[in-house]
Amino acid sequence: MDFSLTEDQVTFKKSAIEFAEKVLNKGAKEREKNREFNQDGWEKCAEFGVQGLSMPEKYGGLGMDIMTCVVTMEALGYACRDSGLLFAINSHIWTCESPIQKFGSEYQKDKYLPSLCNGSLKGGHAMTEADSGSDAFSMKCRAEKKGDRYIINGTKLFITNAPIADLLLVFAVTDPKKGFAGVSAFIVEKGFPGFSVGKPLELMGLKTSPIGEVILQDCEVPEENLLGKEGAGGAIFNSEMEWERSCLFATHVGAMAKDLEDCIRHVNEREQFGKPIGKNQAVSHKIAEMHVRLELSRLALYKVAWLKSQGKRAPVESAVAKLFVSESYVQNCMEALQIHGAYGYSTEMDFEKNLRDAIAGKIYSGTSEIQKNIIASLLGL
């Protein structure tokens, strides 16, 4: 395994950091207070090429390899203080754009990918329901073929980007007898008859990322909008999750690196009892532990990226990375807040916001407990 970055990757990473610092942070605190999505930031990211990072150039993408995608997301996580925007963009890429590119027909790719790459369309996916979260394939949403279209009925909950999305990959049961293998995926546009979105949901963190309910009431979807074959929903979902667990969580690694730098600066400058607080082992050991978690998180993610760049499957490794990065990010946020004391607890600084955002990472893309189930199961238990 060789995780060294090429000169081009280092240059691109630097430019992504400069871009995010210059363009994405202005007004972030206000948007957080107002739960406001950063539409301008979305458009600027699209101009920079973020939404089309991994997409082929023929659709307007940059055609980057997975390691460059991971490194770029790490850079954005490091420099962008609006993690809700990054969450929305990652959902767009890995749960909508990428599966269409991988499983879509030529018609679907030509129709949707150029606009998803240039950011004029926003996407996401609709999987979770009120009674099917971790047990995702026990969904109740049904799709029935009638003539040249499918009629979908069901309600989806906690859908990232739902209030702003132009299209969603909706997962629905087409053959109830087959369990997870009877689930199919459909590209559903917001203008299709019977499609509607409920009010945005208020969450503890990720306040600038619009999340809501999706209602499908006799929603008519043309048959050409079935993604892959009937019953391919499980494979599409698992493939999405492997990618999301690599690239989305790279933003957390970047954020951990930024927090650690801030903490090191603070403990060297802040003096109590006549010396910098970093001279106390109770503090310096926290810094050392934060560094260990950051380094191991980065290695775990890079290993997944390397495996995928070799065309290999990485179900255990991506579950390990997702579990370790998300848990480590929460722990590092707690330590960063503690190291900064009352300042850390204050909303004037970003540490309490980071903690609220980080906790979500233990839940979305499969909870920590589900990652452990996957790891244990694939180890033969």
Partner 1 sequence: MSILESLENYLLTEIAVGLGKKTLGPDEDLLELGIIDSLGLMKLISFMEEDFGISIPDEEVIPENFQSLNCMAKLVELQVQN
**Which positions lie near partner 1, rule CB under 8 A?**
102-103, 137, 175, 177-182, 228-232, 234-236, 238-239, 311-313, 315, 373-374, 377-378, 380
Distance CA 369, CA 134 (A): 9
Asked if residue 293 lies in contact with residue 256, where contact means CB atoms within 8 angstroms, the answer is: yes
Of 230 and 262, the one with the shorter C-beta distance to partner 1 is 230
DSSP 129: B
- Distance separating alpha carbons of residues 187 and 118, to the nearest angstrom: 18
Q: How far is the CB of 179 from partner 1 (least distance, A)?
A: 6
Q: How far is the CB of 168 from partner 1 (least distance, A)?
A: 20
**8 A C-beta contact, residue 72 and residue 53:** yes
DSSP state of 53: T
Q: Is 335 a catalytic residue?
A: no
CA distance 375 to 72: 27
Label the pairing between strands 275-276 and 271-272: antiparallel
Smallest separation (angstroms) from partner 1 to the CB of 221: 19
Nearer to partner 1, 188 or 227 (CB): 227
- Give the position of tokens 């409920």: 198
Shortest separation between residue 131's beta carbon and partner 1, angstroms: 17
158: left (phi over 0), alpha (psi -120 to 50) or beta: left
Catalytic residue among 244, 317, 335, 352: 244
Backbone angles phi, psi at 158, to 5 degrees: 55, 50
Q: Could you tell me the smallest distance in angstroms from the CB atom of residue 174 to partner 1? A: 10
Nearer residue to partner 1 within complex by CB, 282 or 379: 379
Q: Give the C-alpha separation, 231 to 128, whole Å.
A: 17
Report which of 176, 172, 156 is spatially closest to residue 226, judged by C-alpha positions: 172
State the catalytic residues: 244
